[in-house]
Amino acid sequence: MASSIGRSGASLALSLAALLLAAPPVSAETLEGALGRAYAAHPSLNATRAGVRATDENVPQAISGYRPRINASADAGIAYSQVDRNGLTNDQNTLPRGAGLQVDQTLFNGFRTRNRVRSAESGVLAARESLRGTEQTILFTAAQAYMDVLRDTAVLNLRNNNVEVLEEQLRQTTDRFNVGEVTRTDTAQAQARLEGARSQAIAAQATLKASVARYRQAVGVEPRQLAPGRPIDRLLPRSLEAAVSQALAIHPSITSALHNVDFAEFNVAVIQGELYPSVTVSGRLSQRYDSQTTNDRVTSASVVGTLSIPIYEGGEVYARVRQAKETLGQRRLEVDVARDTVRANAIAAWGQMEATRAQITAAQAQVKAAETALAGVREEAKVGQRTTLDVLNAQQELLDARVALITAQRDRVVASYQVLQSTGRLSAASLGLRTAGYDPKVHFDQVRDKPWGLKTPDGR
């Protein structure tokens, strides 16, 4: 048994190295590197960024209400006329044609343009906060996937090592049965425990494959030689009260909901503006040829101001105003919902983190005690004071304790990221990821006052 115990200790050391704070190989993938990959190239995150860029275009659309509308027109045709005068017939063929230019400018429309611009800007800010929330989700998912691969790799190593130990246990039990030291029951117990261990190893391998697939989905590449993962305690608030306060102040779910309130308020003002008078001015310049007779030319120009006062539109606008006010009330209630949800998530994440700290301490003590118990049971079994089943049970208890320790170590790292996410500060900048940061304001500034052009800022 000494050789099997040695292999067990060596395999365990390799398994736990994935989660302990050991120095990673130079070529190993780090957790920060994996998060950087996810931040730079995750399809869902890039799709959300594209959605924010599309939302940016609502602002220049609203600003266009301040600008004039200019239209040019041209026409050409053939006309034939016949005039009878004093018995004389005069046939005339003409080519009537002309061109015109019209300029329309809104001077006042019940402040609708101003409120549309503000509403669009609020929509952009809400979209940015939603993007920040998506970034948090993607980074947390990637961190979780990274730690899942480490955990499941270590657990698989433990399961495989357990199979080796039980194979040696079965061989020795069989040898003792052949010389009459134990009964067939002892052999059957060792055989049953071995087959159960093989089943658990197969299940652990399937679990690892699933975690690898989720890692590939979250990070974009297959996991290769992952370095240890570490908690990010240095970035966390010092207390639960500080965590909750920070979450209520900056969490994207709340800030996005607040911007949606602004959006709804300005939308009410936009619709109400339809009940106000509007003032427009139109200028027209036209040139026509052959309009009456051959070779004639008529030039006309005009500037016309128009005042339009709505009297009654069937109640449709009033209904839309009331509808918009109800939507505004809904958005305000959604802020309260967001605050309650964020507060609850922050408290839950903090509690989970504290629990994992205690679980690691308990699991370490459990492993140490289980190792001592197994060594004692094996010695007692040699002198007949313990049965084969006692040894098998002690081995299983040690294996379960080691799996629990690995799981607690994984949960400890994931919990620290969950706390940072619950406070709204899980970002590439706060983590110090070595990747180019995405600034949605760059695109917004490029298109906000753009008066024409079909190409996007990136040349599409």
Instruction: Provide the token pair at 333.
Output: 């209630």
Instruction: Provide the token pair at 457.
Output: 């800022």
The three-point CA angle 370-372-377 to 5° equals 90
Instruction: Provide the token pair at 68.
Output: 């004039």
| Predicted local confidence at residue 87, as pLDDT | 65
- Give the span between the Cα atoms of 264 and 328, in whole angstroms: 5
Residues 6 or more apart from 395 whose CB is under 8 A from it? 162, 165, 166, 169, 374
Domains of the chain: 2-21+31-69+113-278+318-447 (1.20.1600.10)
DSSP per-residue codes, 362-417: HHHHHHHHHHHHHHHHHHHHHTTSS-HHHHHHHHHHHHHHHHHHHHHHHHHHHHHH
Q: Would you write out the chain's pLDDT as a tens digit for each of its 460 residues? A: 433 444 444 444 444 544 444 555 556 789 999 999 999 989 999 999 999 999 999 999 999 999 999 999 999 888 887 777 776 777 778 888 899 999 999 999 999 999 999 999 999 999 999 999 999 999 999 999 999 999 999 999 999 998 888 888 888 888 888 888 788 888 898 889 889 989 999 999 999 999 999 999 999 999 988 999 999 999 999 999 999 999 999 999 999 999 999 999 999 999 999 999 999 999 999 998 877 777 788 889 999 999 999 999 899 999 999 999 999 999 999 999 999 999 999 999 999 999 999 999 999 999 999 999 989 988 888 877 888 788 888 888 999 899 999 999 999 999 999 999 999 999 999 999 988 889 999 999 999 989 888 888 887 8
DSSP per-residue codes, 434-446: SSPPP-HHHHHHH
Contact 289, 95 (CB under 8 A): yes
Contact 316, 294 (CB under 8 A): no
| Predicted local confidence at residue 2, as pLDDT | 37
pTM: 0.86
pLDDT digit string, tens, across residues 152-184 = 999 999 999 988 888 888 888 888 888 887 888
Rounded to the nearest 10 degrees, the angle between the axes of helix 316-382 and helix 240-250 is 150
pLDDT digit string, tens, across residues 101-138 = 999 999 999 999 999 999 999 999 999 999 999 999 99
- Give the span between the Cα atoms of 350 and 345, in whole angstroms: 8
| Radius of gyration from C-alpha coordinates of the chain | 38
| Predicted local confidence at residue 189, as pLDDT | 87
